[in-house]
Chain A
Amino acid sequence: MATIQIKAEVAGSVWKIVTAIGDTVEPGGTLMILESMKMEIPVIAEDGGKVEKFTVAETEAVNEGQVVAVLTK
Chain B
Amino acid sequence: MSTEAPAPTDWGPEVEELRRRRTYATALGGEEAVARHRERGRLTIRERVAGLVDSGSFQEVGTLTGQGKYDGAALTGVQPAPYVMGLASIDGRPVAVGGEDFTIRGGSSWSGDRKKGGQGGFVEDLAASYRIPLVNLIDGAGGSVTSINKRGHAVFPGVHGFERSVELLGKVPVVCAVLGTAAGGPAGRAILSHWSVMVDGISQVFAAGPPVVERSLGQKLTKEELGGPQVAVDLAGTIDNRVDTEENCFAQVKRFLSYMPSNVWEMPPEVACTDPVDRCDEELLSIVPRDRRRPYNMRKLIEHVVDRGSVFEIQPTYGKGLITVLARMNGKVVGVIANNPMVYGGAMDVKAARKQIHFVELCDCFHIPLVFLVDVPGFMVGRDAEAAATLREGMRAVYVGLQASVPMYTVVIRKCYGMAGMGTTDKNGLDLKIAWPSAEWGSLPIEGGVAAAFRRDIAGAADPKAREREIEDELRSMASPFRTAEAFGVEEIIDPRETRPYLCRFIDAAQARLRTTLGPKAKYGVRP
Q: Which residues of A contact B (CB under 8 A)?
A: 9-10, 36-42
Contact = CB atoms under 8 A, between A and B. Distances in A.
Contacts of B343: 9-10, 41
B293 interface: yes
B256 interface: no
20 contacts: A9-B320, A9-B342, A10-B343, A36-B344, A36-B345, A37-B344, A37-B345, A37-B377, A38-B293, A38-B345, A38-B447, A39-B294, A39-B295, A39-B344, A39-B345, A40-B293, A40-B294, A40-B295, A41-B343, A42-B342
Nearest to A9: B343
B228 interface: no
A10 B294 contact: no
Contacts of B293: 38-40
Contacts of B294: 39-40
Contacts of A38: 293, 345, 447
Contacts of A37: 344-345, 347, 377
> In this complex, which of A9, A36, A37, A38 has the most chain B Cβ atoms within 10 angstroms of its Cβ?
A37
Nearest to B378: A37
Interface string B446-462: 01000000000000000
Nearest to A12: B344
B496 interface: no
Contacts of A36: 344-345
Interface of B: 293-295, 320, 341-345, 347, 377, 447
A39 B447 CA distance: 13
A39 B320 contact: no
A3 B212 CA distance: 35
A66 B342 CA distance: 16
Contacts of A9: 320, 342-343
A41 B342 CA distance: 6
A15 to B, nearest CB: 10
A3 B377 CA distance: 36
Nearest to B377: A37
A38 B345 CA distance: 8
A10 B377 CA distance: 16
B244 to A, nearest CB: 16
A36 B320 CA distance: 15
- A-B complex: 9 closest residue pairs judged by Cβ atoms: A37-B345, A39-B345, A37-B344, A40-B293, A40-B294, A10-B344, A39-B295, A39-B293, A10-B343
A39 B341 CA distance: 8
Contacts of B320: 9
A50 to B, nearest CB: 24
Given A38-B293, A40-B293, A40-B295, 16 more contacts: A9-B343, A10-B343, A36-B345, A37-B344, A37-B345, A37-B347, A38-B345, A38-B447, A39-B294, A39-B295, A39-B341, A39-B344, A41-B295, A41-B342, A41-B343, A42-B342
Contacts of A40: 293-295
A37 B320 CA distance: 15
A10 B343 CA distance: 6
A43 to B, nearest CB: 10
B192 to A, nearest CB: 30
Contacts of B342: 9-10, 41-42
B440 to A, nearest CB: 13
